[in-house]
Amino acid sequence: MVRNTQKFSRLRSLGIVTAGASVLFMGLTAYNNQDNLCGAFVMPFVRMLPAETSHNLAVWACKYRLYPASDHTDDLNLHSSFFGRLVSNPIGIAAGFDKNAEAIMGLKDLGFGFIEVGSVTPLAQSGNPKPRVFRLVDDRAIINRYGFNSDGHQVVMQRLKDLRKREDFNAVVGVNLGRNRDTMTPIGDYVKGVFAFGPVADYLVINVSSPNTKGLRDMQGKKELTELLEAVNAARAKLKTNQNVPILLKLSPDLELRELIDIVSVINNKKCRIDGLIVSNTTISRDNISDVSLANETGGLSGEPLRERSTRLIAQVYSLTKGSIPIIGVGGVASGADAFEKIEAGASFVQIYTALVYEGPDLVERIKCDLSLRISELGLPNVGNAVGSNYLKYLP
Ligand SMILES: Cc1cc2nc3c(=O)[nH]c(=O)nc-3n(C[C@H](O)[C@H](O)[C@H](O)COP(=O)(O)O)c2cc1C
């Protein structure tokens, strides 16, 4: 009886995924040339599936490159120097979409300037029990408590190695590092990450800001962060190749000003050098939410309700660091105007995730076109000239 029920449940899941994939594929093929086809046709269907199923489906579609590749050529005014690499635009996909580096080529097809995979943990782990992802549709938001489900270093590292051997590989790829839930050596987990991915990544991210692993965000404290950043710097110095791989630190949007001041004092210490900051991860606050039924779900909130909070933090960080460290701005970006706000507040680059769930992959091109238009209307030669141009406006 139990086996029959399990079998039925598995068949049902398979049916949903297969039907979903077929409709997704047919929709993408049939409407290839229509503007915002995904927003109008495919995305409403995909949103009828449970959130995690549609996430898996989207990763699968990217993995097999089912989304039509964008034939858009990025305007010259979006070309940017990204930690020493030239990228044709400053818009990236944030960590958490392609956790296991399966979908990089498909994401590149969508027109992203850079791709961040992960978070990856040293050992494979399954994360928190399901359900663990919730769509707050009216709020254009998501709450997730995945809890670092990861294929682990070995598997993800092999995928990246294989990818780099391909002749058509041309993406800029960052690897976001996490730690195992039950690790006895939290700092050691990040050191392992530097050794594993330093040689195969264009940048590394130290993620101590996800709210779904107990004690993780405490590693942003002054003493803990100093030890952590000293250790990852020492590990980087021991790399046999790619010894200058940029290391970025991803921050929580729930930090208070005094905590932020501590963090800036740590990263100003030479031994704790980092090359950039990612601002920000998801929030545990529940400000600006209308969907009260889901607001009580534990986890990190992303999307529109996070937008202002993360922009404020970008401006604070920009102000405290006097613009000396490049910032990747992330949180609730759903349009060119939102991306421009992050840039004016101090971000040199912008990432998106949640809005993609609601708008579909055409969003990438729309953001780029709008951003480029804004830059030229302002008479600026390049998007870089707008970085931090209005940060005072966003300071609390
Ligand atoms: C479902 C989901 C999973 C995520 N997983 C990760 C993760 O593994 N590591 C990480 O650093 N950030 C993760 N994030 C946070 C995003 O990278 C991003 O910082 C945040 O969602 C804010 O951007 P957005 O409002 O555009 O989604 C996740 C976000 C979502 C929605």
Percent of the chain with pLDDT over 70: 89
230-237 long-range contacts, CB within 8 A, separation 24+: 230/271, 230/272, 231/187, 231/188, 231/190, 231/191, 232/190, 232/191, 232/194, 232/206, 233/271, 233/272, 233/273, 235/191, 235/194, 235/195, 235/198, 236/194, 236/198
Residue 23 pLDDT > 60: no
Q: Answer whether residue 12 shows pLDDT above 70.
A: no
Q: How far is the CA of 144 from the centre of ligand 1 (A)?
A: 8
Rounded mean pLDDT of 162-167?
A: 95
Closest CA to ligand 1's atom 13: 96
pLDDT averaged over every residue in the chain: 90
| pLDDT above 70 for 164 | yes
Q: What is the pLDDT of residue 42?
A: 64
More confident residue, 213 or 378: 378
Query: What residues line ligand 1, using a CB cutoff of 6 Å?
Result: 94-96, 99, 118-119, 133, 142, 144, 146, 176, 207, 210, 250, 281-282, 302-303, 306, 330-333, 352-355
Report domain extents, the chain: 1-68, 70-394
Residue nearest to atom 21 of ligand 1 (CA): 302
Spatial CA neighbour of 267 closest among 311, 327, 211, 193? 327
Count Cβ atoms within 10 A of the Cβ of residue 295 and give its class: 0-12 exposed, 13-18 middle, 19 or more buried. middle
User: Residue 396 has what pLDDT?
Assistant: 87
Please list the active-site residues. 210
Q: Using 50, 70 and 90 to split pLDDT, how confident is the model at 257?
A: very high
Counting from 1 in the atom list of ligand 1, the atom nearest the Cα of 330 is 23
| 3-state helix, strand and coil shares in percent for the chain, rounded to the nearest 5 | 50, 15, 40
- Best probe residue, ligand 1, of 281, 297, 314 (max atoms within 8 Å of C-beta): 281
Give the model's pLDDT for residue 218. Answer: 85
Q: If pLDDT is split at 50, 70 and 90, which confidence band does 297 have?
A: very high
Q: Which of 181, 282, 367 to mutate to test the pocket of ligand 1 (most atoms within 8 A of CB)?
A: 282
Q: What is the pLDDT of residue 33?
A: 40
User: Which amino acid type is present at position 190?
Assistant: Y
**Across residues 133-151, what is the average pLDDT?**
96
pLDDT tens readout for residues 310-349? 999 999 999 999 999 999 999 999 999 999 999 999 999 9
Supply the residue whose CA is at minimum distance from atom 23 of ligand 1: 331
Q: What is the mean pLDDT of residues 201-214?
A: 93
Does the pLDDT of residue 13 top 80, yes or no?
no
Q: For the ranges 39-53, 135-149, 263-277, which has the lowest average pLDDT?
A: 39-53
pLDDT value for 306: 98
Q: Are 230 and 272 in contact (CB under 8 A)?
A: yes
Evaluate if residue 28 carries a pLDDT over 60.
no
Going by CA atoms, what residue is nearest to atom 11 of ligand 1? 95
For the cut 80, the answer to whether the pLDDT of residue 275 exceeds it is: yes
Asked which of 45-59, 80-94, 166-180 is least confident by mean pLDDT, the reply is 45-59
Q: What is the pLDDT of residue 173?
A: 98
- Please give the number of the atom of ligand 1 that sits closest to the Cα of 207: 11
- Mean pLDDT calculated for residue range 199-216: 92
CATH superfamily, with its number, for domain 70-394:
Aldolase class I (3.20.20.70)
